[in-house]
Amino acid sequence: MDLILWRHAEAEENAADDMRRRLTSKGRKQASRAAEWLLQRLPSRFTLIASPAVRAHQTAQALGAPIKVEPSLAPGATPKAIVVAAGWPENKGAVVIVGHQPDLGRALAQLVAGGDGRWSIKKGAIWWLSNRVRDGDAQVVVRAVVSPDLL
Amino acid sequence: MELILWRHADAEDGRDDMARRLTPKGEQQAAAMAKWLRAHLPGPFTLLASPAVRAQQTARALAVPITEKSLAPGATVAAIVKAVEKHRGIVIVVGHMPDLGRAAAELVASAQTEWSVEKGAVWWLAGEAPARIKAVLSPELL
């Protein structure tokens, strides 16, 4: 399985309602650059799941694919909620999750390092993980980490 | 600190491990990664490589490396860190598995385990331990 964790791009700061914060124009550019990078590398069929927050939904929209909105991915999502939403590690194919910090960073620390860390993820950045079994051991492979400044 | 761990690209099998050469696929992987690094490195860098031929060939796709005997297959995390600390700025280490995977786990998560670093892939770490993972790229995703 391929699991792509994608943090929403830069969003407006001042909004009464955190869930309704929209991407800035810089954020929209970040999202479209990251989407272009992903579309060149993802298999033709993939599942796209986003937090219900507007900034996550707008980021996901850059991929131009159907979006499944998952309330459990809203800000504050636990690593378990993220793993369950993705169907990791049994799901076949590729799943793209668009969410928030520190939630995604916590899920990464747990999936990659088995720890309680809060890994940093820049706005609009992508972490691409895959799983495999080698010599009877289940392994997690970090295949790519890219942030908008490196795209 | 900015440290880029770069695993040698795909290499031929061979009896003399130190003399194994890159396959044509490995040469392509090394060239593609070198191109990406040239496009994204912010400035001057120091390039260190294991004396194994496959690491030397990988490094040379980017520049002429400084050969560090302590980076040969079986390098400990302490040996890798010591080789890096002699230099300032961005240091690129071309080496082997599981050595590089152990270094990544130790520097990022203080974990005594080995993470999978694919052939020809780079892991770009920033900051003192615990380091932040700034970028990871495998040749197939370039």
Mean pLDDT calculated for residue range B9-36: 98
Checking DSSP bridges between strand A2-7 and strand B2-7, what pairing results, if any?
A: unpaired
Q: What is the pLDDT of residue A151?
A: 87
Q: What is the pLDDT of residue A28?
A: 98
Q: Are B125 and B133 contacting, i.e. CB atoms less than 8 angstroms apart?
A: yes
Residue A146: its chain B contacts at CB < 8 A?
A: 135, 137
Nearest-Cα distance to chain A for B110, in Å, is: 9
pTM listed for this prediction: 0.95
Q: What is the pLDDT of residue B12?
A: 98
CA atoms within a 13 Å half-sphere pointing along the CA-CB vector of A48: 19
Write the CATH number for B27.
Answer: 3.40.50.1240
Q: What is the pLDDT of residue A134?
A: 83
**End-to-end Cα, chain A, rounded Å:** 24
The partner residue sitting opposite B136, judged by closest CB among A114, A119, A145, is: A145
Q: Are B123 and B131 contacting, i.e. CB atoms less than 8 angstroms apart?
A: no
Q: How confident is the model at residue B60 (pLDDT cuts 50, 70, 90)?
A: very high
Residue A120: its chain B contacts at CB < 8 A?
A: 132
Q: What is the pLDDT of residue A115?
A: 87
Q: Which residues in chain A (29-68) have CB-CB distances under 8 A to chain B?
A: 41
Q: Which amino acid is at B99?
A: D
Mean pLDDT calculated for residue range B104-130: 94
Mean pLDDT calculated for residue range B46-52: 98
A69: left (phi over 0), alpha (psi -120 to 50) or beta: beta
Q: Which residue of B has its CA nearest to A120?
A: B132
Residue A117: its chain B contacts at CB < 8 A?
A: 109, 130
Q: Are A128 and A143 contacting, i.e. CB atoms less than 8 angstroms apart?
A: yes
- Residue from A47, A148, A138 nearest A98 by CA: A47
* Domain extent at residue A59: 2-150
Q: What tens digit of pLDDT does each residue of B69-106 get?
A: 999 999 999 999 999 999 999 999 999 999 999 999 99
Please give, one letter per residue, the 3-state secondary structure of B88-111: CCEEEEEECCCHHHHHHHHHHHCC
Write the CATH number for A63.
Answer: 3.40.50.1240
Interface test with B, best of A2, A40, A145 (most B CBs within 10 A): A145
Q: Are B40 and A150 in contact (CB < 8 Å)?
A: yes
* Domain extent at residue B126: 2-141
Q: Are A30 and A127 contacting, i.e. CB atoms less than 8 angstroms apart?
A: no
Q: What is the pLDDT of residue A136?
A: 84
DSSP 3-state of A13: coil
| The total number of structural domains that make up chain B | 1
Q: How confident is the model at residue B1 (pLDDT cuts 50, 70, 90)?
A: confident
Tens-binned pLDDT, residue by residue, of chain A (151 aa): 999 999 999 999 987 899 999 999 999 999 999 999 999 999 999 999 999 999 999 999 999 999 999 999 999 999 999 999 999 999 989 999 999 999 999 999 999 999 888 999 999 999 999 998 888 888 899 999 999 999 8
- List A50's β-bridge partners, or say none: A69, A98
Q: Which residue of B has its CA nearest to A147?
A: B135
| The total number of structural domains that make up chain A | 1
Which residue shows structure tokens 């369950």? A84
Q: Which residue of A has its CA nearest to B124?
A: A145
Q: Are A46 and A96 contacting, i.e. CB atoms less than 8 angstroms apart?
A: yes
